[in-house]
Amino acid sequence: MIRLRRRVYLDNNATTSVASNVRKKIGAVLKNLYGNPSSAYRIAQDAAAVLEESRLSVAQAVRAAPEEIIFTGSASEANNQVLKSFLPDVGHGRTKIISSPLEHSSVMATLEYLGHHGVDVVFCPVDSDGRLNMEALEALADGQTALICCMLANNEIGVIQDVAKVVEIARRQGALVMTDCVQALGKIPVDVHSLGVDYATFSAHKIHGPKGVGALYVKQGSPLQPLIHGGQQEGKLRAGTEGLHNIAGFAEACRSIPDMLAKAGAVAELRDRFVREVAVLLPGIHVNSRAVQCLSNTASITFPGFENAELLAFLDYHGIGASAGSACNTQDNSPSHVLTAIGLRPEEARQTLRFSLSTYTSPADIRYAVSVLGDYLLRRNLPVTMVSPAQLDENMLFSGNLFVIDIRSGYDRRLLKGLPNSHQTAKAALKDSLRLIPGDKNVLVACQTGMDAPMAAYFLRSKGYRDVGFVMGGVLAWKLFQPELYRKFGDLNATRLEQGTGTP
Ligand code: PLP
C-alpha cells in the first residue's frame, strides 16, 4: 500500500538482524545434523560434537569454562532459572534477595513471583544516571541475603554497573551474585571470572544470532535447580532436546564478538553524533543515557511535550524502527520502570524514546533519522493524532463528525467487534478507496492492536486528509477500556467502505 523511502533499524537492543555467517551455519546444521545429541549412534554423536564445540565457543566468549555453560531457550528462561533456585523451600536457609530496580522484566516479574512465595525482595536505589548506590547496597546486604541481582548493562539507558564491586559487597555477607549480561555481550568485554559472579545470563539474538536460545553461566559449585524437568540434557539442569541449529548459530555469533568489540568505538561516534544533532532540534530535549560508563550504542532521549507512541508511529511511517523502552513492554502503555527509577516522572517516561545502533548502522542512517525527527519535532510534517481508547466514549463515537475506518483483516474481525459506524476496508485496498473517504471529517483509523493503524493514518495524511487519527492499542484496547460500550455498540452499523458507504 505504502512505499517507504528507506528502512533504518535503530532498535538493536530489542533484537538484532541475523548475521549472514550465522544464517549459513544454522542452515548447514539443519540440513546435516538432525541427529539427537543424546543418542548413541554416529549420526547423533556428530550432533553431540557440534553441541560441545558450540559450548566451548560460547564459554570462550565470556571467559568461562565450557562445563560452566548451560544452554537455555532464552535469557528470560535463564534469569527465571537462577532466581527460582532461591525459592525458600529449595532450602538455602537465607530468604533475602537484593536487586537493582533497573532489571529486565524477566527478572522483575520473577522477583515479584518470589515475593509472593516467601522471599524478601529488596531494591537498592540508583542515581539519576542509573548507577547502583553502593553505600545503600552495603547497608542492605546482611547475613540473610542469599543473592544480589544486578545487570551488567541496562537495555534502556545503557548504564554499565560496577558488578565487581557488587560481588565484593556480597562476599562480605556470604551472598551469591547473579548478573544479566544480555546487553553487555558484544558491546563491552565480558569476563565472568574477573567479574567474580556466580551466575550470568546471555541471549543470542542481541549479538546477531538467532532468537530462541540463551546461555546461563553457573560458577562451579554454585547452587542451581532445574526449571524444566524431564531429561538428562545440560547436566540434568535443562531438560529438552537441544535446538542444535540455534545453539550452533549462537556459537557462530559469539565468534564474531572480537570484531563487534573492535567496532564499538565507531558505533559510539555515530551514537554521539546522533545525540548531539537531535539535542539541538528543540530546547528541553533530555538525554537519559548519559552515564560515564554507558553502552556505546544506546541513546535514550526525552522529547518534552511529545507523546512517544505518536512519535514512534511517525518514525515507523518513515521506515525507522525505534522503541519506547523495553521491547517486552511495548504492548501496554505503562511508563518504563527503568526511567521512573532514575527519577523521570511518568509523563516524562511517556515522552522518551530509545534508539539503539549496531555495527551495521551507517552514517547515512543517522542523518536520515535526525532529519525525520526534525520534521516531526519542528512540525515540518503535520502529525496525525493519537486517540486513546479512553477518549473513545459515546460522545466522540457518535459525534457525527467522525469517519471511522476499520482496516482489520476478516480473521481479526471474527475475533473482536469493531467500533460503531466503522467503514471496513482491507489495509491494501485503502489506496483505491480514497474517493470514498470524506475530506471534511475527522478520519479515525482503527486496527486490531494499534500496530497497523498509524501507518495507514500517515498514509491518509500524506494524501491531503487534514484531521487524521488512529486508535492507540486498536479495538483490543477499546474493548478493555470501554467494556460497556464494546458490549453495547461493538460492530453497530459497520459497513464495507467499498460498498460506497463513505461520502465520496
Ligand atoms: N535481559 C535483558 C537486559 C534484555 O534486554 C533482554 C531482552 O530484551 C532479556 C534479558 C531477555 O532476553 P530473551 O529475549 O533471550 O529472553
pLDDT of 382 > 70? The answer is no
- Give the contacts of 403 (CB within 8 A, at least 6 positions apart): 423, 437, 438, 441, 442, 443, 444, 502
For the Cβ of 76 lying below 6 angstroms from any atom of ligand 1, the answer is yes
Question: Could you give the CA distance from residue 98 to residue 147 in angstroms, rounded to a whole number?
Answer: 6
pTM value?
A: 0.83
Report the distance separating Cα 406 and Cα 404, nearest Å.
6
Q: To test ligand 1's pocket by mutation, which of 77, 155, 178 has the most ligand atoms within 8 angstroms of CB?
A: 155
pLDDT in tens, 260-311: 999 999 999 999 999 999 999 999 999 999 888 999 999 999 999 998 988 9
Between the CA of 454 and the centroid of ligand 1 the distance, in Å, is 27
- Per-residue pLDDT of 196-239, as tens digits, reads 999 999 999 999 999 999 999 999 999 999 999 999 999 999 99
The reply to whether ligand 1 has any atom less than 6 angstroms from the CB of 183 is yes
**Ligand 1 midpoint to CA 459 (Å):** 34
Which atom of ligand 1 is nearest to 153's Cα?
A: 3
Q: How far is the CA of 252 from the centre of ligand 1 (A)?
A: 19
Atom number in ligand 1 closest to CA 212: 15
Per-residue confidence at 390, pLDDT binned at 50, 70, 90? confident
Closest atom of ligand 1 to CA, residue 14 = 8
Q: How high is the pLDDT of residue 203?
A: 98
pLDDT of 5 > 80? The answer is no
Residues 6+ apart with CB under 8 A from 461: 381, 382, 383, 384, 468
Residue 284, amino acid: G
pLDDT for residue 326: 53
What's the CA-to-centroid distance between 460 and ligand 1, angstroms? 36
pLDDT of residue 454: 86
Distances (CA, A) of 295 to 6, 84, 163, 440: 26, 29, 15, 49
328 carries an active-site annotation: yes
- pLDDT score recorded for residue 3: 43
Cβ atoms of residues 150 and 177 within 8 Å: yes
Question: What torsion do the CA atoms of 23, 10, 362, 251 make, to the nearest 10 degrees?
Answer: -30
What is the pairing mode between strands 96-99 and 120-123? parallel
Which of the four pLDDT bands, split at 50, 70 and 90, describes residue 328?
A: very low
Distance CA 142, CA 11 (A): 39
Q: Of 124, 294, 328, 447, which one is the catalytic site residue?
A: 328
Q: Is 106 in the pocket of ligand 1 (CB under 6 A)?
A: yes
327 lines ligand 1 (CB under 6 A): yes
**Which pairs from 26-32 meet CB under 8 Å and 24+ separation?**
26/210, 26/245, 26/246, 26/248, 26/249, 26/252, 29/244, 29/245, 29/248, 29/249, 30/245
C-alpha cell at 20: 549472514
Q: How far apart are CA 342 and CA 81, in angstroms?
A: 28
* 214-to-236, 298, 412, 447 alpha-carbon distances in Å: 17, 22, 33, 34
Cell of 11: 532498535
Q: Hey, what's the cell of 437?
A: 473517504
Contact 343, 128 (CB under 8 A): yes
Task: Quickly tell me which residue has 556470604 as its cell.
Answer: 174
Q: Could you read off the pLDDT of 83-142 as tens digits, one per residue? A: 999 998 776 689 999 999 999 999 999 999 999 999 999 999 999 999 999 999 999 999
For ligand 1, the distance from its centroid to the CA atom of residue 103, given in whole angstroms, is: 10
Helix (H) or strand (E) holding 199: strand 199-203
Residue 440 has pLDDT above 60, yes or no: yes
Which whole-number Å values give the CA distances from 357 to 101, 258, 299, in the listed order?
Answer: 24, 17, 9
SS3 219: coil
